[in-house]
Structure 1
Amino acid sequence: MESWQVPPVYAAVFGSVARGEMTEDSDLDLLLIRPDGADDDRWETQVDELAVEVARWTGNDTRPLEFTEAELAGRAYDEAVLHDVARGGLTVAGSRAWLTGHLRKRKG
């Protein structure tokens, strides 16, 4: 992901993969936080290419869950899946502290 033209602000693998419970029928769940103002077409191309490559490497479907920074700021506190990622996800890009900091903020 470091070679991406539009790198994610944060990325993590979560779910059965992160728990060490992946089977041949499992989906590979990936959280991607896109920087605000990023080129939508370039971002989508990168995500699509990643999903194809990971599926090719693992033989499992890849399920990217995507948020922009603004979406994260507005919804993070109430999104259970984000709390799951913060507790047990495997960070691939960015900082877990950055994510957990956003989860503590309640928009008011």
Structure 2
Amino acid sequence: MPTDVPGGLTSAGALKGANVYNTEGEHIAIIHDVMLDTAGGRISSVILAIGTILGMGGEHQEVPWHSLSYDSGLDGYVLGIPLRQMQDAPEDAEEEEDTFPLGAVTRLT
């Protein structure tokens, strides 16, 4: 999945629906959407769909792109941060860690 475009690149569309696992290899979510930094042309974050059944119900959680790594054995992405830590993080703390200028990324939900 991660190299569907020549040169080792991946299209943002190919990421949608990708499986996400925790560091123990347990399936925890799928990638619901990809958030791009339009000024820098890079992925800023992804929106994870957690606890959905056939795309229905569940919740969505935004996580930084750099917190995911591809695992070819799982054919999916591993979230290097405990999901609970992401859910419990105060919104102000997330903004302080943002590497992009405020307003550089448009978030859609």
TM range (shorter): 0.3 to 0.5
Q: Which has the higher contact order (CA 8 A, sep 6+)?
A: 1
TM-score, normalised relative to structure 2: 0.32
Which of the two has greater strand per residue? 2
